[in-house]
Amino acid sequence: MDGRVRLANPADHPGDRSAAEGESARRIGGGWWRAIAAGAIASFPMGWLLSFGAMLPAMLGLFFFALFGLVIGAVMYRVASRHRPIPVGRLRIGIWAIVAVCWAISMYFEVRDFAGDKAREALHRVQLLPDGMTRETLLLDAEKQVHETLKRDHGGDGFFGYAHWIVTSSRIEYRVATMDKPVVLTSVQNKGWWVARVVLSIVLLWFGVRAQVMPLSRVTDRIAANNQALPPNTAP
């Protein structure tokens, strides 16, 4: 013995190396699941806000899908950055999961508020209220007629009925006793334009999240430097 200490080599202990790799995989997986949870939480307020921007004229709301996608992706990156590199497959699955959650929340509020929005539009366009009808009762009556129209002519007042109304009709006539002609309620985006907006909103939301999250698949310069700084094995 010459007094020199032989450093442990992972190759000499395959079991230890497998255990370390398993622990690393569990750590990475746990960190990525926390990032997905954080992205889902951030998607709730973002999706609610997007439901308002989605119907802006000239598709101006599409800008916000890309912007909020970047914000959600930044939250996910922040949570998972300590656990990089993360396999690309996991990143892709997580990205699409968050895009689906955020878009579904946005569409839920868009459909939920549709009847109320059309009722307020009708109220603003009615010049003289019928006898015995207040602003509140007109709002309730108009909202009821919107729901009835969707159920009667388009298969329901949920997402599918709402989508069918937009792509086939985009028109609801609300009749008031004090007006000769009905109040015609239409969609800001109708038929093909609405379909294009839906597709583009998904693409831009995906683009924003992906731009922030995919760098998690790469090793940082700091991690690479630490790996290179490991001491070599010294044989006795």
Q: pLDDT of 149-164, one tens digit each?
A: 999 999 999 999 999 9
Identity of residue 157: D
Comparing 57 with 158, the larger pLDDT belongs to 158
Tens of pLDDT, residues 164-182: 999 998 899 998 888 888 8
Provide CB contacts within 8 A for 171, sequence distance 6+. Answer: 184, 185, 186
Other residues' Cβ atoms within 10 Å of the Cβ of residue 185:
20
Contacts of 228 (CB under 8 A, 6+ apart): none
In tens, the pLDDT along 217-228 reads 987 645 444 544
**pLDDT of res. 2:** 54
Q: Which residues pair with 184 in a beta bridge?
A: 173
> Do 114 and 159 form a contact (C-beta atoms < 8 A)?
no
pTM as predicted: 0.78
Report which DSSP code applies to 7.
P
The per-residue pLDDT for range 194-205, each reduced to its tens digit, is 999 999 999 999
Does 118 have pLDDT greater than 80?
Answer: yes
